[in-house]
Amino acid sequence: MSDAPLSAPSGGIGRSARVAAVARGMGHRAGPVVAVVAVLVAIWYAACLPMNVGNTLLQAERAGAVVTPEGPAARRQMGSVALMAANPSLLPGAWSLERPRLPAPHQVAVALWDGVAGQSVTSARSLVYHAWVTLSATLLGFAIGTGLGILLAVGIVHSRVMEMSVMPWAIVSQTVPIIAIAPMIIVVLYSVGVQGIVPKAVISAYLSFFPVVVGMVTGFRSPDAMQLDLLRTYAATRAQIFGKLRLPASLPYLFASLKIGVAASLVGAIVAELPTGAQAGLGARLLAGSYYGQNIQIWAALFAAALLAAGLVGLIGLVERGLLARMGMGQ
């Protein structure tokens, strides 16, 4: 048998022993993770220097410091590295500019913290507020996309006609760049009077249904021929085969699809906020930040989106572990 969830479980090691092994593994894993993060942060700080050197020297000159060479026109002729070499003592200023090209990690962290904890959650400056606007569209779109995806997968598994007619379109739909199609969807929906959360949810759903379809078709087909033959010997109906075998066997695949789908939903909701110049939402924050050259704001919104995605994926992982463990399939 393949590695399908129906393959006979390897005997021997008990579940509690396995849990303990996993717990130990997490202790071992924290070290490398911290090391990688530290390296990335260090690279980020280093990258701030050449990215921001022009701006840094300009600010320093205005404040009365001695900059070589003098005058922005002369400096524009030089490369970033040469400027850094000529003014080593002024470089730390690159990490505390008001409008940096590349904000330093601590600047982003401060902006993120301020946006999350420093504002009233109803304020337009609150990241919680914007995250909630995006999240609500994400969740609605995710629900629609998942429902649609599962329905399509059920149809595809049971009907050859549906497989031949739906699958190619599902694949084609994902080759169209979402950036190109999102404004069209929004305009079309707007023209028929639909606006607000629904157009965003539609684009979310558009992105999330596909991984669900692919994952669930695989999951529904994961039982092997012997499993299906066994049910045939009981003269089981198609509905029974689905309910007793295909559906439970597909659950591990469902959760894998949901994790990809929810992240895609979030991307869809953010992208959907861009073309309308929406007033609220993480996408709107990104857009406003780029209009006004507020790079710190862009980065803070980006990290807020990443944290949101991680939170959603983590939540699905928790449900997965709880449910599969209750079904005796927890690993």
Partner 1 sequence: MSAPVVRAEGLDLTFATGDGSVHALSDVSLDIGRGEFVSFIGPSGCGKTTFLRCVAGLETPTGGTLEVNGMSPDAARQARAYGYVFQAAGLYPWRTIAGNVALPLEIMGFAKADRRQRVEEALALVDLGGFAGKFPWQLSGGMQQRASIARALAFDADILLMDEPFGALDEIVRDRLNEELLALWARTGKTMLFVTHSIPEAVYLSTKIVVMSPRPGRISDVIESPLPAERPLDIRDSAEFIAVAHRVREGLRAGMEAL
* Residues that bind partner 1 in the complex, under the rule CB under 8 A: 1, 5-6, 8-11, 14, 226-227, 229-236, 240, 244-245, 248, 251, 327-329
Our CB check for partner 1 shows the closer of 175 and 233 to be: 233
Alpha-carbon gap, residue 95 to 178, rounded angstroms: 35
Cβ 330 to partner 1 shortest distance, Å: 10
Cβ 256 to partner 1 shortest distance, Å: 16
Alpha-carbon gap, residue 322 to 58, rounded angstroms: 57
Cβ 214 to partner 1 shortest distance, Å: 22
Our CB check for partner 1 shows the closer of 163 and 224 to be: 224
| Residue spans of beta strands (DSSP E) within 160-276 | none
Our CB check for partner 1 shows the closer of 29 and 244 to be: 244
Cβ 213 to partner 1 shortest distance, Å: 23
Our CB check for partner 1 shows the closer of 240 and 290 to be: 240
Give helix 105-117 / helix 127-158 axis angle, nearest 10°.
Answer: 90
Alpha-carbon gap, residue 83 to 201, rounded angstroms: 48
In the block, residue with structure tokens 């393949």: 2
Cβ 41 to partner 1 shortest distance, Å: 43
Alpha-carbon gap, residue 315 to 154, rounded angstroms: 25
Eight-state DSSP code of residue 121:
T
Our CB check for partner 1 shows the closer of 146 and 250 to be: 250
Pair 280, 130: CB distance under 8 Å: yes
Indicate the residue type of 12: G
